[in-house]
Amino acid sequence: MPTPPERRRRLAPEIAPVKVRPDPLQGRILLGRYRLATRIARGGMAAVYLARNVEDGTRAAVKVLRSDLALEIPVRERFLNESRAAGLIDHPAVVKVFDVGEIDDGRICLAMEYVEGSSLRRLVGKKPLSSDRTVLLASAIAQGVAAAHARGVVHRDLKPENVLLPRRAEDGVLVKIVDFGIARILDAPRITTTRHVMGTPQYISPEQAMGVAVDTRADVYALGVMMYEMLAGCLPFSSPDHEVLMRHHISSTPQPPGARCPEARIPPVLEDLVMRCLRKPPKARPSGMEAVLSVLAGL
C-alpha cells in the first residue's frame, strides 16, 4: 500500500542547508592598494584573486599564501623567489610582478599583471595541434624564456599550466609565462641543496630528475616536452608513478611524435628539433632558446 504524501514528508530526513563560509580576504585592501574581489584560482600553496588597484583603477592578480603555510620558511622563500626572478625580466611574454609584501597575519602576497584568458593546458593533451600553431606558440614561449635566460633566470617548471593565453592578443603577445617560484637565478646563492628535486615530473629534465645543478638547457628540454605534447596530443612518457616517470626522463628515448600521431604530418625539421630538445645530456640539446628560435623561425 503506498505511503500517504503527508507521511512521506514526515519520514524524509531533514537536510540542513550548507553554509558557505565567506572568504575573509574578499573586499580587503592588501599592500595598501589592491582591493580583492573574486577568487579566480586556488592551488596547493596559494589562492589567486582578481583585484583592483584603488589608486588608478587598474586590475591585478594577487596571489596570497595559505595561512597554514605562513611560517613555512621554504614556502615563503619560494614566494619571494618568484618576485625576485620575475622582477628581473622585462618582456611582454612574461607576467609582470608589481608588488610583494606581508599582510597582518604573516602571509606573503604577490600583486601581478592580470591576464584575461586561459592556460595552454586547455589546448594540449586532448588532441594534436597543427604544426603551424605549434610553431607559433612554441616561438612565443621561447622568446619569453630567452628573455629570462638573458637575465640569468632559469624557469625550471615550464609546463602548459604555466603558460597563459590572453583572450585578446594585444600587440602580438600570444602568451604570458607565469610562476617563477622555483626559478634558478644563476648568479644568486642556492636556496636548496643540489640533491633536492624540483619541477613537474611530466616535464622535468633528466638533470633535474637526478637532483643535480641545471642551466638554461633544462628549460629547452621542458619546451621540447611541450612541443611534443602539442604535436602528438600526448606526452613522450606517461606513468601514474612519478618515480617511474622521472626514470623515463633520465634513461628512456621516446618515440618521435610523428610515430605517435602519423596523421599529424609533422615537418621533419620540426620533429628533429623536438627530439634534439629531448636529448638526455644537456650538451647534446640546442645550446639555448635562441638556437631553438632560429629553427622555428625557418619554419
Look up residue 4 and give its three cell numbers.
Answer: 500517504
Catalytic residue among 68, 90, 157, 171: 157
Instruction: Tell me which amino acid residue 192 is.
Output: T
DSSP one-letter string for the chain: -PPPHHHHHHHSPP-PPPPPPPPTTTT-EETTTEEEEEEEEE-SSEEEEEEEETTT--EEEEEEE-GGGTT-HHHHHHHHHHHHHHHT---TTBPPEEEEEE-TTS-EEEEEE---EEEGGGTTTTSPPPHHHHHHHHHHHHHHHHHHHHTTEE-S---GGGEEEESS-GGG---EE---TT-EETTS--SS-TTS--S-TTT--HHHHTT----THHHHHHHHHHHHHHHHSS-SS--S-HHHHHHHHHHPPPPPHHHH-GGG---HHHHHHHHHHT-SSGGGS-SSHHHHHHHHHH-
Q: Give CA–CA dist 169/174, Å, rounded.
A: 5
Look up residue 40 and give its three cell numbers.
Answer: 579566480
Q: Give CA–CA dist 229/125, Å, rounded.
A: 6
Q: Is 157 among the catalytic positions?
A: yes
DSSP one-letter string for 252-267: PPPPPHHHH-GGG---
Instruction: List active site positions.
Output: 157
